[in-house]
């Protein structure tokens, strides 16, 4: 694997899930793979799970890790080619990425979308500039349009809990006070399609995702109909893609409750976290035995470990 920014970088998704499960079964058995190698983690945005689980994964592989919050501790970076840098940006990505590449064998980058400029966000300007100017492999720690480490984790967690060959998986929009990226939902769809899962997406009108990610996945605007027969309910808020970055108030309450979970086929509840309790999901669901959220977060380590070992090999 030369980079990890989307499912398209993975030759064999089933094998990658197996690699993660192998790491999970024997997390410290791979200490030699990363000997004398350094992982650099660069954050433009907050992170809890991604930061800690990726560090842990790297250490399980014997790597050393450096991480940096670029907004607070780095120079402000310029990403435009040919820019006249006479304003607030002190360092160009050309030097930045080239220099970091000399210190690190793999670079991880977290960069959220602006949610104001759809074209720039969906061109992945920041991540692609890192890839272009770095001389070592780049992994996405969530970019403007995708969160591949999360989606790999979700697939691993589904594989561990599925009772049938092709379980019904429902990606359900849920309310949120803030405008959030489409990244987790885009990525989840892409990975479920790649793994040939039976995916349905449900959301209020106006929250349609980009067809580039969801392809011909069925959309059901009636949350109740969508939930019928579901084995997994994957919940996530996202802001509008078409009315870019906007919040459109739906007519009914889309929060996940025990009453709604009862419409399903005893489905598991999934969310990538962090989650707003009693806005996205009611306590009764998040605290129930059907909630996989803490187990998902645990699998973040093994997803990262599988990706890092594939890049190092
Ligand atoms: C991020 C997102 O992409 O939706 C990261 C998820 C892994 N989530 C948030 O920014 C939530 C922030 C909040 O205020 O609840």
Is the previous residue joined to 95 through a cis bond, with omega within 30 degrees of 0? no
Place of tokens 């074209």: 119
Query: What was the pLDDT predicted at 74?
Result: 92
- Nearest-CA residue for ligand 1 atom 9 is 180
Average pLDDT over residues 226-237: 98
Query: What was the pLDDT predicted at 11?
Result: 97
Average pLDDT over residues 177-191: 98
Per-residue pLDDT band at 244 (split at 50, 70, 90): very high
- Dist. CA 180 → ligand 1 center (Å): 6
Q: Is the CB of 279 under 6 A from ligand 1?
A: no
Average pLDDT over residues 261-275: 98
Q: Are 118 and 155 in a shared domain?
A: no
Per-residue pLDDT band at 288 (split at 50, 70, 90): very high
For the stretch 83-93, pLDDT in tens is 999 999 999 99
Q: Are 61 and 97 in a shared domain?
A: yes
| pLDDT mean across residues, the chain | 98
Q: Is the CB of 276 under 6 A from ligand 1?
A: yes
The answer as to whether 1 is a domain residue is: no
244-251's contacts with Cβ under 8 Å and 24+ in sequence apart are 244/115, 244/116, 244/118, 245/113, 245/114, 245/115, 245/116, 245/118, 245/179, 246/179, 247/176, 247/179, 248/204, 248/206, 248/207, 250/175, 250/204, 251/204
The answer as to whether 265 is a domain residue is: yes
Host domain of residue 268: 148-297
Query: Which H or E run includes 22?
Result: helix 13-25
- Nearest-CA residue for ligand 1 atom 11 is 274
Query: What was the pLDDT predicted at 139?
Result: 98
Average pLDDT over residues 220-247: 98
Q: CATH number of the domain that 239 lies in?
A: 3.40.50.1370
Q: Are 141 and 191 in a shared domain?
A: no
- Dist. CA 263 → ligand 1 center (Å): 27
Average pLDDT over residues 95-101: 98
Query: What was the pLDDT predicted at 66?
Result: 98
Query: What was the pLDDT predicted at 302?
Result: 98
Nearest atom (ligand 1) to Cα of 176 = 15
Q: Are 115 and 199 in a shared domain?
A: no
Q: Are 208 and 77 in a shared domain?
A: no
């Amino acid at each position: 694997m030369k980079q990890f920014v989307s499912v398209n970088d993975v030759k064999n998704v089933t094998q990658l899930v197996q690699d993660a499960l192998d790491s999970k079964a024997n997390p410290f058995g791979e200490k030699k793979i990363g000997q004398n190698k350094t992982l650099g983690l660069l954050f433009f945005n907050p992170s809890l799970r991604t930061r800690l689980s990726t560090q842990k994964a790297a250490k399980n592989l014997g790597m050393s890790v450096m991480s940096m919050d670029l907004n607070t501790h780095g120079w402000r970076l310029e990403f435009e080619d040919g820019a006249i840098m006479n304003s607030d940006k002190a360092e160009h990505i050309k030097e930045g990425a080239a220099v970091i590449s000399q210190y690190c064998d793999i670079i991880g980058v977290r960069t959220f979308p602006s949610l104001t400029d759809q074209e720039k966000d969906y061109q992945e300007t920041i991540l692609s500039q890192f890839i272009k100017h770095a001389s070592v492999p780049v992994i996405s720690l969530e970019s403007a349009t995708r969160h591949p480490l999360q989606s790999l984790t979700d697939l691993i967690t589904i594989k561990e809990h599925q009772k049938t060959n092709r379980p019904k998986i429902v990606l359900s929009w849920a309310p949120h006070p803030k405008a959030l990226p489409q990244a987790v939902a885009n990525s989840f769809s892409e990975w479920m399609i790649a793994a040939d899962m039976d995916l349905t997406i449900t959301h209020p009108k106006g929250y349609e995702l980009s067809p580039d990610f969801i392809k011909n996945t069925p959309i059901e605007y009636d949350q109740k109909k969508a939930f019928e027969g579901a084995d997994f309910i994957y919940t996530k808020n996202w802001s509008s893609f078409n009315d870019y970055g906007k919040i459109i108030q739906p007519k009914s309450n889309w929060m996940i409750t025990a009453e709604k979970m009862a419409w399903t086929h005893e489905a598991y509840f999934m969310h990538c976290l962090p989650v707003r309790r009693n806005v996205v999901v009611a306590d009764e669901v998040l605290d129930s035995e059907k909630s996989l959220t803490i187990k998902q977060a645990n699998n973040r380590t093994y997803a990262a470990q599988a990706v890092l070992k594939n890049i190092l090999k």
